[in-house]
Structure 1
Amino acid sequence: MAHRLLPLAVLATVAAASACGGSGGSGGGTVPGPARAAPAGTGYTSDQLGQALLQQVTGYWRGEPDSGEYGSLKALRNAAQVRQEATLDKPKCADAQTGGRRQVAADVPTALVTFVKGDGQTATETLMGVADADAEKQVEARVPPGCLTFRTRLGDKWAEHRITETPRGDIGNGSRTVGVATTIGAQRMNTWYVVFQGRHYLGSVSVFGPNATRAEAESLARASVAQAHRILGR
Structure 2
Amino acid sequence: MAHRLLPIMLLSTAAAVSACGGAGERARPVHGTAPAEVAGVGYTSDQLAQALLTEIPGYQKAGEPDSGSYGTLKAIQNAARLQRAAQLDKPRCGTGRPGGAVPADAPAALVTFAKRGQTVTETLMGMPAADAEKQVNARIPTGCLKFRTKVGSQWSQHRVVESPKGEIGEGSRTVGVSTTTGNTATRTWYVVFRGRHYLATVTVYGPQATRTEAERLARNSLAQADRILP
Q: Same fold (TM over 0.5)?
A: yes
Residues 147 and 158, structure 2, Cα contact 8 Å, conserved in 1 = yes
Residues 113 and 120, structure 2, Cα contact 8 Å, conserved in 1 = yes
Give the whole-Å Cα distance in 2 for the aligned partners of 1:207 and 1:12: 13
Match of 2:190, as an amino acid? Answer: Y
Give the whole-Å Cα distance in 2 for the aligned partners of 1:48 and 1:108: 13
1:108 partnered with 2:136: no
Give the whole-Å Cα distance in 2 for the aligned partners of 1:134 and 1:126: 16
- What is the CA-CA distance between 1:95 and the residue it aligns to? 4.6
Report the counterpart of residue 35 of structure 1 in structure 2.
33
Residues 150 and 156, structure 2, Cα contact 8 Å, conserved in 1 = yes
- What is the CA-CA distance between 1:39 and the residue it aligns to? 2.7
Normalised by the size of structure 1, how large is the TM-score? 0.90
Residues 109 and 129, structure 1, Cα contact 8 Å, conserved in 2 = yes
- What is the CA-CA distance between 1:198 and the residue it aligns to? 0.4
Residues 123 and 205, structure 1, Cα contact 8 Å, conserved in 2 = yes
Give the whole-Å Cα distance in 2 for the aligned partners of 1:202 and 1:23: 18
Match of 1:47, as an amino acid? Answer: D
Match of 2:141, as an amino acid? Answer: P
Report the counterpart of residue 144 of structure 2 in structure 1.
147
Q: Please give the per-residue CA displacement for 1:145-197, whole angstroms capped at 9, x wherever unaligned.
A: 31100000011110001000000111001100000000001111000000000
- What is the CA-CA distance between 1:24 and the residue it aligns to? 3.5
Match of 2:65, as an amino acid? Answer: P
Residues 26 and 75, structure 1, Cα contact 8 Å, conserved in 2 = no
* Moved beyond 3 Å, runs of 4+: 6-13, 22-27
- What is the CA-CA distance between 1:120 and the residue it aligns to? 2.4
CA distance 1:211–1:29, shift in 2 (3 Å): closer
Residues 53 and 111, structure 1, Cα contact 8 Å, conserved in 2 = yes
Q: Which residues of 2 match residues 1-234 of structure 1 at below 5 A?
A: 1-5=1-5, 10-16=10-16, 23-24=21-22, 27-40=25-38, 42-63=41-62, 64-95=64-95, 102-117=100-115, 119-233=116-230
Give the whole-Å Cα distance in 1 for the aligned partners of 2:67 and 2:2: 18
CA RMSD, 1 decimal: 2.2
- What is the CA-CA distance between 1:6 and the residue it aligns to? 5.2
Give the whole-Å Cα distance in 2 for the aligned partners of 1:196 and 1:164: 17
- What is the CA-CA distance between 1:9 and the residue it aligns to? 6.1
- What is the CA-CA distance between 1:76 and the residue it aligns to? 0.1
Residues 95 and 101, structure 1, Cα contact 8 Å, conserved in 2 = no
* Structure 1 SS opposite 2:38: coil
* Structure 1 SS opposite 2:144: coil
Mean Cα displacement is larger for which, 4-13 or 57-66?
Answer: 4-13
Give the whole-Å Cα distance in 2 for the aligned partners of 1:40 and 1:31: 24
CA distance 1:94–1:48, shift in 2 (3 Å): same
Give the whole-Å Cα distance in 2 for the aligned partners of 1:7 and 1:206: 14
- What is the CA-CA distance between 1:38 and the residue it aligns to? 1.1
Aligned residues: 226
Q: Please give the per-residue CA displacement for 1:118-144, whole angstroms capped at 9, x wherever unaligned.
A: x12000000000000000000000012
- What is the CA-CA distance between 1:232 and the residue it aligns to? 0.6
Normalised by the size of structure 2, how large is the TM-score? 0.91
CA distance 1:113–1:58, shift in 2 (3 Å): same
Give the percent of matched residue pairs that are identical in Structure 1 and Structure 2: 58
